[in-house]
Every structure is written in structure tokens, then in C-alpha cells.
């Protein structure tokens, strides 16, 4: 059997795979295989030096994870692009870190209640109806949202919970960071501020799964609330 492990692209693909795992941006071979349009055993064969990574797989790797193409071909030592979302991964905690006794300062909004939250987020009686919990070292009155769907993969996956700090209107925002934006719906997105002259007029909402979900703009007047995502909780084993 041929040994493809001497090829620099295959060597560096293995390094990229290991770094994506270390940053918890993928959940192993089956996860990255799905995003590369291939199968778990194919990725396993590439990592073992038993086959070459294909051009199509490389293009999907660059597009999905902002991997620097020059790195794969040995022309650069920068693994990610300078603006890579992978460099801005969210702090991650386990679902098991939740505490349901003592001071419970985090209100949990399940996915089925998102539409109601968009309408009633200022109603304390509405919020009192939800489960509350706390997480060590996370202070303040926080809101947690259960994420449904794959639009923010690989940063936030289906079933993850994002713990957020509500912001006052006019508080400064940071481009390319993850926020929960409340209009007539509730979404978790990266943002970029769109200015007209010196005034911010819109936010560009960006999905990390940008091969499937395209960016779109919302007017500032349409935004009812902005919450900064402080961390995500996942049932995926971390450590």
C-alpha cells in the first residue's frame, strides 16, 4: 500500500485536524468528514497516510474553518487566516457545570420559547416561568438560550446552550464576536457594524456555517435587545 504521509499537504492536514480538535471546533473524524462532504473512514485513511486529501475536500476545509491555503501547501506557517473565526472560539463549559441550588442567576430560555422571548423579554413575570441555574464564576443576571439548528456550526452546535449578558442600548459592540440578537426572532450570530457616516445604522449578522447560511443585515431600529455571549455549554465531552 502506498504511503501518502510524506506529502506535505497530507502532513499539514493532520496538523489542522489536531488543532481543530484542540480548539473544540470539530467533534472528531465524523464531524469534519460531514463538513468536507466525505466519510469518516476517508478522513481516517488520510490521517493514517493511506490516501491523499482531495482538492474538493481542501476547498471545503478552507471555506468552513478559515484554514490558510498557503499553510497546507507549505508556503506559510500561519495555520488560520488572520480573520479566522476559529481564532475567536467561545469559552466552553460542560452541561454538568450547571448548579440548581443556591443562588440561581441564569434564566434558561428553551428553544421552544424563543418566539415568546422576542415578544416578552422585558416582562419579569414571563421570565420567572423558566428554570434557573448558576455556573461557578459566572456572575450577574444572565440569560441562557438553547440553540436549535446548525447555522453557527462549528462554533455552536445543535443542542448547545449559550449563556449571555444583556446589554444596554448604546453599549459598544465588537465586530466578529458572537451575540444573541433579538428582533421578532432570536438568533445567535457574529456581527459586523454597518455605518452611515459616523452612525451605526445596521448590523450584519453572520453565520459560522457560511457555506449554507448567507449573511444578512438588520436595521438598528428593528433590534429589541442585544446580548453578549459569554460562554457556551455543551454535552460534548470536554477536558
Tell me how far apart the alpha carbons of residues 151 and 116 are, in angstroms, rounded to a whole number: 21
Tell me how far apart the alpha carbons of residues 70 and 54 are, in angstroms, rounded to a whole number: 16
Give the per-residue pLDDT at 192.
Answer: 83
Tell me which CATH code domain 8-84 carries. 1.10.260.40
- What is the CATH architecture of 92-234? Ribbon (2.10)
What's the Cα-to-Cα distance from 67 to each of 5, 37, 114, 176, rounded to whole Å?
20, 16, 33, 17
Residues 6+ apart with CB under 8 A from 20: 26, 32, 65, 86, 154
Give me the residue label for grid cell 424563543: 114
* 130 and 145 Cβ atoms separated by less than 8 Å: no
What's the Cα-to-Cα distance from 137 to each of 71, 99, 103, 167, rounded to whole Å?
38, 12, 12, 19
Give the per-residue pLDDT at 188.
Answer: 96
8-84 matches 92-234 in fold: no
pTM: 0.65
Packing angle between helix 55-65 and helix 8-22, nearest 10 degrees?
30
**How is the chain split into domains, by residue range?**
8-84, 92-234
Cell of 224: 429589541
Q: Which residues of the chain have pLDDT under 70?
A: 1-3, 23-24, 82-89, 237-239
Tell me how far apart the alpha carbons of residues 229 and 205 are, in angstroms, rounded to a whole number: 14
Q: What is the helix (H) or strand (E) element at residue 203, kind and residue range?
A: strand 199-206
* 93 and 232 Cβ atoms separated by less than 8 Å: yes
Give the per-residue pLDDT at 88.
Answer: 56
Give the per-residue pLDDT at 121.
Answer: 93
The pLDDT mean for the chain works out to: 88
- Pairing of the two strands 106-109 and 132-133: antiparallel
Amino acid at each position: 500500500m502506498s504511503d501518502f504521509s510524506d506529502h506535505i499537504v497530507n502532513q499539514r492536514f493532520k496538523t489542522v485536524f489536531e488543532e481543530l480538535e484542540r480548539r473544540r471546533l470539530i467533534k472528531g473524524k465524523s464531524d469534519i468528514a460531514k463538513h468536507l462532504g466525505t466519510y469518516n473512514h476517508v478522513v481516517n485513511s488520510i490521517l493514517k497516510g493511506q490516501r491523499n486529501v482531495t482538492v474538493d475536500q481542501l476547498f471545503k476545509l478552507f471555506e468552513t474553518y478559515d484554514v490558510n491555503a498557503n499553510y497546507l501547501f507549505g508556503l506559510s506557517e500561519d495555520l488560520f487566516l488572520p480573520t479566522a473565526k476559529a481564532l475567536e472560539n467561545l469559552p466552553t463549559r460542560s452541561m454538568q457545570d450547571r448548579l440548581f441550588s443556591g443562588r440561581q442567576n441564569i434564566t434558561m430560555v428553551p428553544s421552544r420559547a424563543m418566539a415568546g422571548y422576542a415578544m416578552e423579554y422585558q416582562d419579569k413575570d414571563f421570565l420567572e416561568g423558566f428554570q434557573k441555574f448558576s455556573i461557578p464564576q459566572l456572575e450577574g443576571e444572565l440569560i441562557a438560550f438553547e440553540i436549535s439548528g446548525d447555522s453557527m456550526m462549528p462554533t455552536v452546535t445543535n443542542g448547545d446552550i449559550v449563556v449571555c449578558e444583556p446589554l444596554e442600548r448604546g453599549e459598544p459592540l465588537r465586530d466578529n464576536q458572537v451575540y444573541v440578537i433579538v428582533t421578532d426572532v432570536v438568533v445567535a450570530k457574529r456581527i459586523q457594524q454597518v455605518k452611515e457616516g459616523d452612525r451605526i445604522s445596521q448590523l450584519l449578522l453572520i453565520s459560522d456555517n457560511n457555506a449554507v447560511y448567507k449573511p444578512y443585515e438588520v436595521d438598528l431600529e428593528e433590534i429589541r435587545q442585544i446580548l453578549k455571549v459569554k460562554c457556551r455549554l455543551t454535552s460534548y465531552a470536554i477536558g
